[in-house]
Structure 1
């Protein structure tokens, strides 16, 4: 039997009515002849509630017990979904991560999948099981403890199972009906894309688009898993995330992504010498600061300024890490300037590879609307800029209009 993976997020299984709605969609695929692996998240709001209870229990909690508690949300959902499918006459059963098993690293709260052993699932499918309802977001460490995969872990679970089971496709059901050229709440004319390349989706996800989790797209690209993003609540075509070869023609720019809560930090007058970048960004990495854009100014009299961006809530960690590096004598600087009122706006598109003038068009569109650019970074298929946060929505609309993203190619 061909296999299909279907993933339902928290809003899609928020109560029994929504679980029944999701079960009806699963039944359609079973009736169409598929063996189905369903990956479920915890019911909407439950994970936050469980996390809150753990934190209330004590500030210095055991990360292994944190995972034991927080993973229970998916266990409840998987059992309820299996019961609902059984009531519809479908041979279904629930599976926890340790029962499959899903082998992960030991990094509790942020584990990574290392292997999925499918023998147990294969045997049950051969015995007549039609649907395996799998608890997402969780696995089993080498020490045989339950682990969780971090934010968006159920998306990653679903893609990993699609790869391991050789599934025809991985369908991600959520509260939106696909991937848009930008956030429709900012640009009413935003257009839903029929298809998008893995590389474009990976850039959009890493640059602020919230539809798919970055790790899940990385995994899909590596194993060529065809991903489809669909609405749980409407019967509409979704967006297929696939290989570039499956897209006949595409716009030069496919989408505009943004991140509101960025900060720009500048180390003023740093010694310009070999190894200075490592001396600055090593301690930041050790402190868990997620550095993004980096710009080094022209050196004058052996000293230079170093500018980088990071999430605004990581500024205190960055400041502390740099001060400690200074105290240890690893770096020397005259000041640290932190601008916590900036945002990042990016354009993404595989068409940029073969079209000149994309950056020029972007910068002109922003200039025409009076938006000043503070920092610029580029890659083969993206251009990102830091701007004042108050101009974010204006910039997104200006770029969407400039590249005619409301129109299909």
Structure 2
């Protein structure tokens, strides 16, 4: 039988009744003869409640103490789930990140896993016990409790599956799989049976919120088969796995991602001289502002226009920095727009099919949607459009590339 790692998010364990439902599901898997390791998040709302308590004390909580506090949310859940399983007659043992020995660096609130000692877990599995591990946390070399950042329980689940060489890592959430796009925007969106790590990584980085990006990176690196399933219903979910020969037979486009949290900044009349891009982007990077897409126009009259996008939350921070840079380098003006959105096509099939970009641009042209910026990679094409046209663009592209579910 298989060794399965299951991860349940906050909504899945949000009440005693839901914890009992998780216990029932775990019991079914265990009765089939599988070895089970369960990773859980804090009950929904609990982490926010704890953070609010810290904020009530101080506007700038010490990161070490913050980790010490927020890690308790998961500790409550693991104990409750262990009790629920024991009540059903199963051997079950809860373990914190420290008790498992999930070793991390000392970057409090955003630690990275360095090593996992599987000895204690294997000893419990040998007794046919179900192990329930606190997600989102570990311990550094000095014995301090650390946390992995928001969504870190996904990463814990994948990391444990890699350390134990599990047959599958199942991520239970409030959706029943990965869809071609957000069903709230396109009701005809379809659940995908399978998607590659590469595609899922692109979808996650481009705005799909199903999985935390670090967990997908981890799974791809250690070849851990990932499956996204619903906590609230049955089904096969979506398997995320390595690029295979079957991928060549997949549709050209697997999904459409979109992101409203974009803002665009343009510095006009930039002197077209060597090193000018660094002079513009260096101070932006030094301010810890992440840059996404970049476009530089062809030089005319020895000047050029330079445009880039940032997260919308960083727009007000980036604008004055760019205005200062413009004065220093003698640029003409700075303009900004925080009412844009990014729409992206993702699919490994692009590698072997020509004409995807022209079909995308033609589809948007038919809807009179202007493309402001374009970015491409081997398996992705992204465009920036006005935010008000984003949903129309997603729906039109979803239909144009044959992703709509068949009409019933």
After TM superposition, the score normalised by the length of structure 1 is: 0.95
| Worse-matched range after superposition: 134-143 or 391-400 | 134-143
In structure 2, what is the equivalent of residue 96 of structure 1?
96
In structure 1, what is the equivalent of residue 389 of structure 2?
391
Give the 5 Å matches for 1:4-403.
Answer: 4-126=4-126, 128-245=127-244, 247=246, 249-322=249-322, 332-403=330-401
Aligned to 1:244, the other structure's residue is in SS state coil
Q: Report if the CA contact (8 A) 1:30-1:130 is conserved.
A: no
Provide the C-alpha distance between the structure 1 equivalents of 2:147 and 2:301, rounded to a whole number of angstroms: 51
Provide the C-alpha distance between the structure 2 equivalents of 1:335 and 1:132, rounded to a whole number of angstroms: 60
Provide the C-alpha distance between the structure 1 equivalents of 2:56 and 2:120, rounded to a whole number of angstroms: 38
After TM superposition, the score normalised by the length of structure 2 is: 0.95
Deviation at 1:296, TM superposition (A): 0.8
Q: How many residues align?
A: 405
| Worse-matched range after superposition: 315-324 or 36-45 | 315-324
Please report the RMSD computed on the Cα atoms of aligned residues, expressed in angstroms. Answer: 1.6
Alpha-carbon displacement from aligned partner over 1:106-136 (angstroms, at most 9, x marks no partner): 111111111111112122223x152111110
Unpaired segments ≥5 residues, structure 1 = none
Aligned to 1:99, the other structure's residue is in SS state helix
Aligned to 2:291, the other structure's residue is in SS state coil
Q: CA separation of 1:283/1:105 partners in 2, compared to 1, >3 Å: closer, same or farther?
A: farther
Alpha-carbon displacement from aligned partner over 1:79-122 (angstroms, at most 9, x marks no partner): 11111111111111111111111111211111111111111212
Q: Report if the CA contact (8 A) 1:362-1:399 is conserved.
A: yes
Provide the C-alpha distance between the structure 1 equivalents of 2:321 and 2:66, rounded to a whole number of angstroms: 27
Q: Report if the CA contact (8 A) 1:342-1:388 is conserved.
A: yes
Q: Report if the CA contact (8 A) 1:256-1:400 is conserved.
A: yes
4+ aligned runs moved over 4 Å, structure 1: 323-327
Q: Report if the CA contact (8 A) 2:364-2:396 is conserved.
A: yes
Alpha-carbon displacement from aligned partner over 1:317-364 (angstroms, at most 9, x marks no partner): 22344456678x5x5533321100000000100000000000000011
Deviation at 1:286, TM superposition (A): 2.8
Unpaired segments ≥5 residues, structure 2 = none
